[in-house]
Amino acid sequence: MIELLAVFFRIVLLLGALLSGGLVIVSVLHRLRVDWTMPVGLALIGAFGGYATQAAMLVGDVSGMWDTAILGLLWVTPQGNAFALQITGAILMLAARIWARRPLSIAGALVMLSGFSAVGHVADQDGFVLHTVLFLHLCLASYWVGILGPLHALAHSNRTETKRVALEFGQYAMVSIPVLIALGGIMAVTLLENLSDLWTSTYGITLMLKLAGVAAMLGLGAANKVRHVPVLAKDYPGAADALRRSLRWESFAAITVIVATAAFSTVAGLS
């Protein structure tokens, strides 16, 4: 029961953090007005729930989720550090929505994403470099995840803006996606002791699921770039519907990757 709660809250946290961080990046790079309030809310639910379930794990009972003494003990652990970073980032991002301060939103997104390097399988490794690799990997992943929703909305209402944003993303993606994959490869090589771990270890199986999801996203993204966006720009009938349908499938693939990542990182942290 506690393990399932931990996995659930980790999925909610990672989904909310990547979406909100990605929307901040999208607002900066593509000059779009987007609202990250809801995904920040998801991240907050995931952060508080995840922190509480960690406390429950310490005592082996659900009652630990509201035991103030146990929650206080957890505060001085790496889980407490991660929780503090995630909550601080969320508060900064919400404050940025209220006072319309872009630097505040950027700082909030970066602080929230940095919290993921404080715990998990990468955090167990010594060295600043690998932690930085994970942080950059998450920043690039959040951009990819964050662009899907705004593009889907634009394709329904503004074809000119859709073409502009899609073309800009295509240019950025030529650099960001190869770097994203390379950073993931660095972590995989570091964490896999040998090739057989790909099909015999939890991390290896999760990695293959993530690779399948990323491959699907790459294929759908390529189809958007070479087929759907050019057709939409020419005002062909049904072009907007085709692009939105492709973006929905790409979003489904992204969620699959997020669920696999969150489930593994939680199980690894509990083992």
User: Where do the domains of the chain lie?
Assistant: 2-270
Taking the complete model, does pTM exceed 0.85, yes or no? yes
Query: Would you state the torsion angle of the CA atoms of residues 11, 15, 18, 20, taken in this order, to the nearest 10 degrees?
Result: -140
Burial of 193 (0-12, 13-18, 19+ CB in 10 A): exposed
Predicted local distance difference test score (pLDDT) of residue 157: 79
Predicted local distance difference test score (pLDDT) of residue 125: 63
For residues 177 and 215, the answer to whether their CB atoms sit within 8 Å is no
The HSE-up count of residue 112 (CA atoms within 13 Å, CB side) is 34
Predicted local distance difference test score (pLDDT) of residue 119: 75
Query: Would you state the torsion angle of the CA atoms of residues 264, 120, 84, 97, taken in this order, to the nearest 10 degrees?
Result: -50
Predicted local distance difference test score (pLDDT) of residue 97: 87
Q: How far apart are CA 90 and CA 20, in angstroms?
A: 9
Q: 180-183 contacts: CB < 8 A, separation 24 or more?
A: 180/137, 180/140, 180/141, 180/144, 181/214, 183/133, 183/134, 183/136, 183/137, 183/140
Low-confidence ranges of the chain (pLDDT < 50): 269-271
Predicted local distance difference test score (pLDDT) of residue 269: 47
Quick one: tokens of 253? Answer: 């693939």
Predicted local distance difference test score (pLDDT) of residue 85: 94
Predicted local distance difference test score (pLDDT) of residue 270: 44
Predicted local distance difference test score (pLDDT) of residue 122: 65
Predicted local distance difference test score (pLDDT) of residue 240: 81
What 8-state DSSP symbol labels residue 65? G
Predicted local distance difference test score (pLDDT) of residue 98: 84
